[in-house]
């Protein structure tokens, strides 16, 4: 009898220990996610792209097994003080994950579990393309930065659509509804994110081989992506700002951008579901002269696009190294590699651009509303309803809650992270939300 009691006690202790270990390892607040996992990945995988693939595979496998890291702090999962309204949806918080981390829409649910309200997958091109030759991703560890020239490697829009549709089917079966019923909102969740208080953004782009001088051929690339992917997205993001696709940033001139965005908006409005996906355009941080920004704003307002994602990687290297920071020769070489740089040094530029875009977008919206009033008064028609304020998402150098608050105060609705997540680990978003909540409480 005593031996049996000891066996039961020992078994219970082991089971309890395993359960506590499970709770710790799957909690985004666990210190291992910040101080052990990221440096371990860097040590095991000298090539940053290999580390990227390993991280994606690990998250996917862990999610399938129910062993993935997730936000367990109940004060942060649904804190009213962090809620924000975007596109008519009350989001649980103003933090998002930028495109590039989940290029092929393999792990959107695992990323949502980390705590963001917005996950952007992609970029996705119409047809499969391999991107640039490897190596094409380089760490600058002394700056917590990165240089990449992936070149929009993509499995193609049809492959991503199949993956997202299978995700939708699994969800529909779980809640006892049909696919169309879920898409039309009968499950009580957004049709892209499949979760309350969250949005799934799908970034689309042109194929490298498409003639960069033919804006109509380029528009056809984007329209192809919309037709394939719009049903499964809450937001479609038009990428015209990658520095690694020839001619792509040239599309930010007002005339080609207006043509392109109008084609995307018109196609998005044909999406076969009750609520249509919103459309945003992702712009380069290097197009920062007033005339360039005014042209982008003019195209946004003329085409009916719903908002702008301010920021992408930069070709520039000036001002990237803070005073007093010395890089190793290897880091210096990585920094000077061809491609787009991302990291904390981008924050000040992002903050400045958000404030400037906010003023320009609001001014253009008011101007357009005034012109509509004059037209209605002249024709005797009923006055059109006031246009919605254009939404801004911001990405570039945001690594903590204090920076996120500054970005939001400058006029953005969502602060997005990418490089900060790769260095800070899967607890980054939980940590940022905690810092934001504390800052609001202290005030």
Residue 279 has, within 13 A of its CA and on its CB side, a CA count of 28
In this predicted structure, what is the pLDDT of residue 22?
Answer: 94
Q: What is the structure's pLDDT at 365?
A: 86
Per-residue model confidence (pLDDT) at position 443: 61
What is the pLDDT at residue 384? Answer: 54
Going residue by residue through the chain (443 aa), what tens digit of pLDDT does each one get? 677 777 777 777 888 888 999 999 999 999 999 999 999 999 999 999 999 999 999 999 999 999 999 999 998 988 899 999 999 999 999 999 999 999 999 999 999 999 999 999 999 999 999 999 999 999 999 999 999 999 999 999 999 999 999 999 999 999 999 999 999 999 999 999 999 999 999 999 999 999 988 999 999 999 999 999 999 999 999 999 888 776 676 778 889 999 999 999 999 999 999 999 999 999 999 999 999 999 999 999 999 999 999 999 999 999 899 988 999 999 999 999 999 999 999 999 999 999 999 999 999 988 776 665 665 566 666 545 567 899 999 999 999 999 999 999 999 999 999 999 999 999 999 999 999 999 987 76
Dihedral (CA of 146, 293, 238, 87) sign: positive
pLDDT of residue 239: 95
| Active site members | 242
Prediction pTM value: 0.94
- What pLDDT is attached to residue 8? 79
- Say if residues 312 and 241 touch (Cβ distance below 8 Å): yes
- For residue 9, the model assigns a pLDDT of 76
What the block records as the tokens of 165 is 């549709």
Q: Going from the N-terminus, what domains does the chain have, and what CATH number goes with each?
A: 69-442 (3.20.20.70)
């Amino acid at each position: 009898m005593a031996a049996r009691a000891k066996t039961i006690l020992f078994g219970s202790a082991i089971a309890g220990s395993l359960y506590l270990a499970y709770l710790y390892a799957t909690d985004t607040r666990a210190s291992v996610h910040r101080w052990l996992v990221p440096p371990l990945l860097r040590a095991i995988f000298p090539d940053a792209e290999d580390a990227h693939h390993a991280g994606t595979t690990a998250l996917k496998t862990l999610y399938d097994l129910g062993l993935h890291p997730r936000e367990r702090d109940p004060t942060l999962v649904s804190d009213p003080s962090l809620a924000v309204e975007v596109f008519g949806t009350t989001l649980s918080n103003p933090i998002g994950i930028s495109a590039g981390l989940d290029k092929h829409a393999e792990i959107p649910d695992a990323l949502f579990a980390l705590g963001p309200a917005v996950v952007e997958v992609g970029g996705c091109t119409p047809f499969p393309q391999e991107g640039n030759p490897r190596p094409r991703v380089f760490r600058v560890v002394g700056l917590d930065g990165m240089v990449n020239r992936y070149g929009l490697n993509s499995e193609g829009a049809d492959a991503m659509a199949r993956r997202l549709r299978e995700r939708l089917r699994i969800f529909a079966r779980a809640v006892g509804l049909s696919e169309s019923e879920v898409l039309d909102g009968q499950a009580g969740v957004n049709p892209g994110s499949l979760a309350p208080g969250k949005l799934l953004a799908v970034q689309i782009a042109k194929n490298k081989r498409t003639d960069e001088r033919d804006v109509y051929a380029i528009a056809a690339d984007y329209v192809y992506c919309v037709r394939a992917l719009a049903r499964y997205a809450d937001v479609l993001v038009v990428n015209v700002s990658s520095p690694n696709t020839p001619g792509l940033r040239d599309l930010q001139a007002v005339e080609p951008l207006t043509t392109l965005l109008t084609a995307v908006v018109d196609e998005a409005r044909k999406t076969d579901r009750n609520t249509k996906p919103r459309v945003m355009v992702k712009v380069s941080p290097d197009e920062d002269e007033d005339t360039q920004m005014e042209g982008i704003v003019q195209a946004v307002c003329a085409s009916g696009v719903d908002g702008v994602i301010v920021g992408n990687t930069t070709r520039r290297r000036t001002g990237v190294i803070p005073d007093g920071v010395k890089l190793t020769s290897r880091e210096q070489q990585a920094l000077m590699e061809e491609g787009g740089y991302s990291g904390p040094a981008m924050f000040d530029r992002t903050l400045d651009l958000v404030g400037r875009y906010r003023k320009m977008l609001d001014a253009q919206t008011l101007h357009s509303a005034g012109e509509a009033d004059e037209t209605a008064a002249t024709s005797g028609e009923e006055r059109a309803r006031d246009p919605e304020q254009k939404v801004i998402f911001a990405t570039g150098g945001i690594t903590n809650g204090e920076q996120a608050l500054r970005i939001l105060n400058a006029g953005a609705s969502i602060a997005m992270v990418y490089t900060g997540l790769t260095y800070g680990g899967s607890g980054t978003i939980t940590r940022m939300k905690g810092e934001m909540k504390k800052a609001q409480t202290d005030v």
